[in-house]
Structure 1
């Protein structure tokens, strides 16, 4: 068990591991390499090289454990200061691919945003890692944040955001080693407000990194869905417009024109993955992605991908106020017709029902002619003649034998009962 350092300020919100270790080393007037070699790395091993961004990517577990013991910060919190600590949300894994190109295909081509699935062109990118630059890690910072306290966030080292979520100003490239600030790349650098669409996109990314969920117009989604939606959108924006249908081609051209950048950020010739592009072109793609999200949400651009419904507001669905609907007026004539039709259907199969139906209909009849007309009408409706009494006298004789009134001889199966 290592002893606790006397001075061990905790990491700040969203700070990168290299930035935190740099601040710790400065407290003891040491270089980061010295601190790593003499007090954090296991004896006989070389510390991770700062120039390769190893501290922010996937440092040795022994270094993370030593930092946790020296500072009292939980090991899980220390691990989250690295890109490896964001697996599997920011990227699926840092392990080797099961087969070349599988990581890119799974991450980028599983869904779609602007384009239909049939319009997506599948690419194979062996050894690909989502959002991790192929070259050196980015060195960007917010001028206002650096004026208050020189701290680098983990996300500012990746081509994932363009603005500071706290101040809303554009992140500016800096000069310095990992976790250190020497100067701005351009002289007379000042804070510049980022476009509103960019700020909205970056704040969602920040929300996802801090809370694990991102609020989109339709609902809240897991941060892993957000990162894959954003990376898929960037890949669609890099599609050669000549390969698209007229509708999709016009959509992409309109997005790039609204962004104020050339189509595909000026890419011509051979396709190249976003992570391998220089920063100036990555910046154009992020601006175009923010513009596309804004246009889809505003209804100015129609998206046709599997994730497109997440980007549009939920349609208005009126909800009743709880008042029960007024009952429909009762149709007595319809009830009578339905009862008669039911009695006729029953009489077609049941002789007793047939006799009872004819008896009811002729209960007030006094002439044989009227009785026969009623009987013939029932036969015309499909009731067999053998189910009906032959004469009025037969009906009267049956009443005399039973000793009951016609009105009380209803069968339970009759709708009139």
Structure 2
């Protein structure tokens, strides 16, 4: 029988598991370690192996199942509060690589954004894992959120975002263990608003983590595409200018100049992956990435990579407001042409002869010729404009006509004279 805890505050949007478990233990006057050891560790497990530091990365599946039973929160929702719950979207795997360096190659170099694929150097980075800082989890929080209800988001523990999407201000480094706020790393920490470009980037990241999709100008994409786009862009922003042509160099310099930071965040020396950099440098790269996305979307810079079309809107195609012509009335055209030919034949003998020739082209009968000539005269064509007779063509078959008919067989019904 499930023994549910009487007090179990629900997790907040995007909250890290360590932060939520800290809030779960507080009403009972327990530390996180005590709660884990006495009521969360699966039976038969070594309780010393389940620590606060493990919660945000890859806690035991049995511990997550017990948390779901104790709180009524769905197991899937609890697992998404961990890094392991974001595999394979945030990163491909937490396990060992099938081949050394293949993880970085696949995640970062498979696509491109600013430039065509192949411009960057291919660097093997064995043991690399996307977005996980080598120095360990980060401790950052929003000053306004902490003032009301201290909690930490999963994204704030990674070098993935810069701002709080609710208040639009920069996250600030804190003191304390996983899930615990003891104070600010800097004594004079104040609320600092983030730029519009940074806020737009972070809103998309949080949207992807909560819904699994990110809305871009061209279309919505899976959150895995968004994370790889950002990480690819950061790698492009770290490309040495000595590897670039003049146009690409100007683009890179324009992006970094727009951030107010030197190219490559001022790093001089050997290249290192983003995850190995200190947080001050990572901050600059995230700001440059947000700036680059903004410049691409506004058309201020052109991107030529495989992922570039995702950041440009669909081209505007003006609607054709011209009237659509109806189907051709070929019979009316024929009638109009015949009227025009008759009018021309009244004044032009050559036109009259040509008209009579056309009208009698399908018969060699002299009688038909005479009848056609008489009918044209009846339509107002002077008899002087028309030849008197025509000899039949040799070997032609005469067409039998009704000698009593007064209506020419070759005229359209609308033009016949009765």
Distance in 1 between residues matched to 2:51 and 2:137, nearest whole Å? 10
Is the 1:33–1:47 Cα contact (8 Å) retained in structure 2?
no
Task: List per-residue Cα deviations over 1:367-405 (Å, max 9, x = no partner).
Answer: xxxxxxxxxxxxxxxxxxxxxxxx9455587317x6789
The answer for the alignment partner of 1:374 in structure 2 is none
Give the Å deviation of 1:256: 0.5
Secondary structure in 2 matching 1:118:
coil
Distance in 1 between residues matched to 2:304 and 2:121, nearest whole Å? 15
Task: Normalising by structure 1, report the TM-score.
Answer: 0.80
Is the 2:365–2:392 Cα contact (8 Å) retained in structure 1?
no
Unaligned segments of structure 1, at least 5 residues: 337-355, 366-390, 410-417
Distance in 1 between residues matched to 2:79 and 2:126, nearest whole Å? 27
Aligned CA-pair RMSD: 3.1
Unaligned segments of structure 2, at least 5 residues: 338-359, 371-389, 411-418
Secondary structure in 2 matching 1:128:
coil
Is the 1:111–1:306 Cα contact (8 Å) retained in structure 2?
yes
Distance in 2 between residues matched to 1:211 and 1:44, nearest whole Å? 34
Is the 1:143–1:171 Cα contact (8 Å) retained in structure 2?
yes
Distance in 1 between residues matched to 2:75 and 2:203, nearest whole Å? 27
The answer for the alignment partner of 1:376 in structure 2 is none
Give the Å deviation of 1:13: 1.2
Give the Å deviation of 1:361: 11
Query: Is the counterpart of residue 254 in structure 1 residue 254 in structure 2?
Result: yes
Give the Å deviation of 1:269: 2.0
The answer for the alignment partner of 1:9 in structure 2 is 9
Q: How many matched pairs?
A: 366
Distance in 2 between residues matched to 1:106 and 1:246, nearest whole Å? 28
Distance in 2 between residues matched to 1:163 and 1:394, nearest whole Å? 97
Query: Is the counterpart of residue 132 in structure 1 residue 137 in structure 2?
Result: no
Q: How does 1:336-355 map to 2 (within 5 A)?
A: none
Give the Å deviation of 1:41: 1.2
Is the 1:218–1:312 Cα contact (8 Å) retained in structure 2?
yes
The answer for the alignment partner of 1:373 in structure 2 is none
Distance in 2 between residues matched to 1:103 and 1:87, nearest whole Å? 13
Is the 1:48–1:55 Cα contact (8 Å) retained in structure 2?
no
Is the 1:139–1:173 Cα contact (8 Å) retained in structure 2?
yes
Task: Normalising by structure 2, report the TM-score.
Answer: 0.80
The answer for the alignment partner of 2:385 in structure 1 is none
Secondary structure in 2 matching 1:214:
strand
Is the 1:5–1:71 Cα contact (8 Å) retained in structure 2?
yes
Distance in 2 between residues matched to 1:328 and 1:86, nearest whole Å? 59
Q: How does 1:248-327 map to 2 (within 5 A)?
A: 248-320=248-320, 324-327=323-326
Is the 1:50–1:177 Cα contact (8 Å) retained in structure 2?
no
Is the 1:159–1:282 Cα contact (8 Å) retained in structure 2?
yes
